[in-house]
Amino acid sequence: MSPDRSISIANRHPRLKVPRKEVERVIKLLDGSAAKFLGGCPAGELSIVFLTDDALAQLHADFLNDPTPTDVITFEGDATMGVAGEVCVSADRAATYARRRHRDFTNELTLYLVHGWLHLAGYDDLEPAKKRRMRAAEGRALRLLARAGALPLFVLRK
């Protein structure tokens, strides 16, 4: 993937502080390591949207006919239109999961970004073998970001 990818970041969560430059760095580092991840996310504009649980559950209902809350929804783009896709993540889900599992919120929300990027790269997690492959790729990607000191510092205000 070209390092000149256009990245659109929308924060639709009223209490989330999104470090946009740091999120862009995550994507650029993943793009730069695309060969390690099935060739990476397709060329074109990548849209990232941070949402509440309710907003992502509504997308889940509208597009996947499942009204339950979820962590990440990825929409494939149209290469002929110069669009790689869109990654929609729930900051609320990340906060809840991090709290329950005694994990760091920033790491959890970054995992959701990585997960969405990997979906666009061609990874799937619906079957056990494919899910194991995706989890391994997530681990490699998070280690790559950690070694580069590139984990964004997200803040979710109370």
**Judging by beta carbons within 10 Å of its beta carbon (0-12, 13-18, 19+), is residue 58 exposed, middle or buried?**
middle
The pLDDT tens digits for 81-103 are 999 999 999 999 999 999 999 99
pLDDT band at residue 158 under the 50/70/90 scheme: confident
CATH code for residues 7-156: 3.40.390.30
Tokens encoding 9 = 């970041």
Residue whose C-alpha is closest to residue 70's, from 79, 82, 61: 61
How do residues 106-139 score in pLDDT, each as one tens digit?
A: 999 999 999 999 999 999 999 999 999 999 999 9
Tokens of residue 11, six digits: 């924060």
Strands of 7-11's sheet in order across:
7-11, 45-51, 83-90, 72-76
Domain assignments of the chain as residue spans, ordered by start: 7-156
